[in-house]
Amino acid sequence: MPANMLRKLLWRNFVFNQHYQLFIFQLKKFMVASLSKKLFLFFAPAVVLWACNGNGDNQNKTTNADSIATVQQNVVPATVDTPKSETVIAPPADSSLKTPVSTADAVMVDTTKKYVFLTFDDGPQGGTMNVYHNLKALGLKATFFMVGLHATYGNMRYAVDTIRDAYPQILLANHSYTHARDKYIEFYHNVPSCFDDFMQAQQSLDVRKKFIRLPGNSAWVLATGMLAHPLVKPVCELLDSAGYSVIGWDVEWSFKRDPSGHGSVPVQTPETMVKMVEYALDNHRTHRRNAVVLLSHDRMFNRPNYSDSLYKFMHLLKTRHPDYVFETVDHYPGAKKSL
């Protein structure tokens, strides 16, 4: 073979090899990127929804949130004990609070006293009756924000009727019909259907007073003003026009998955919770001065030892602070007067 021909052949071979290697490199890069994207698309919604799983521990229901939570138990075991919260959509800063327009229709309270509003969300669930009996035993006032759908499981209707009949010591209030099925963004985007969901809960649970807590978000709609994240503001405005007060919270007793079984258990001890309530009141870390709203969930107190923890917390708070006034949320300062 002539030397120049051999040189050409070698050169072509070299160029081919370069292109071939570049091609293989690009192909590998593409495959890795594509696989990462697929994995991300597969797991991202599960991770987001798991974090948002506000009511996925009801023993009787089988919802999307439950199946997502089950998936997560398998894929991210390291985060199983992460404390959970009702907060999915962070509340806005106080700067967006509407200028008070009128106090004529607002609930007025004794401003020299300190008020505690105990609130229990997501019932009726296992744990609801334990909370009820503890409140009765201690003679304390509290509010249950219930979910319409949860009343359709087992004999949960009995718990709803018991809570409703316990007024004025205990107030039954509205926490939506579906709890957004834990798809919060979608839920709040569709304003008319979101509003209808609350109306369905109001009717099916036979809620007598117009007090609502939004699932996954701490928003406030009072006679004196509104504080709401832009996502929930349209529905808050609609609820406001329909005469509802929306009640957020200042302090939350967090929960986590029960390490020894199914369900949720409290994260903080009763003593810590007492300190958190005292701190919020003493340092004015509350939406309204001298009024603290504590959020917890019925299901945290399903097991007898945790029902005892709730009793201990409320007993400590009551005996250590005889000056604290326990009230239902229809007595929250600035709330709309509800018939």
Output the smallest distance, CB 26 to Zn ion, in A: 49
**C-beta of residue 303 within 8 angstroms of C-beta of residue 263:** yes
121 binds Zn ion (CB under 5 A): yes
Q: Considering only residues 66 through 85, tell me which ones interact with Zn ion, judged by CB under 5 A.
A: none
Among 73-81, 212-220, 228-236, 284-292, which window interacts with Zn ion (CB under 5 A)? 212-220
Q: CA–CA separation, 130 vs 335, rounded Å?
A: 28
Among 50-58, 96-104, 270-278, 325-333, which window interacts with Zn ion (CB under 5 A)? 50-58
Q: Rounded to 5 degrees, what are φ and ψ at 216?
A: 75, 5
Size of the site for Zn ion (CB under 5 A): 4
SS3 275: helix
Output the smallest distance, CB 254 to Zn ion, in A: 13
Q: Report the 10 Å Cβ neighbour count for 44.
A: 10
Q: Compare residues 147 and 170 and give the one whose CB is closer to Zn ion.
A: 147
Q: Compare residues 212 and 314 and give the one whose CB is closer to Zn ion.
A: 212
215 binds Zn ion (CB under 5 A): yes
Q: Considering only residues 145 through 204, tell me which ones interact with Zn ion, judged by CB under 5 A.
A: none
Q: Which of 57, 122, 197, 327 binds Zn ion (CB under 5 A)?
A: 122
Going by the DSSP 8-state scheme, the letter that residue 147 receives in this structure is -
Alpha helix (H) residue ranges in 52-127: 64-75
Among 96-104, 120-128, 153-161, 310-318, which window interacts with Zn ion (CB under 5 A)? 120-128
Specify the long-range contacts of residues 280-286, CB closer than 8 Å, at least 24 apart.
280/250, 280/251, 281/114, 285/250, 286/250
Among 24-32, 114-122, 127-135, 239-247, which window interacts with Zn ion (CB under 5 A)? 114-122
54 binds Zn ion (CB under 5 A): yes
β-partners of residue 221 are 226, 246
Sign of CA dihedral 56, 185, 225, 176: negative
Q: Compare residues 49 and 106 and give the one whose CB is closer to Zn ion.
A: 49
For Zn ion, the binding residues (CB under 5 A) are 54, 121-122, 215
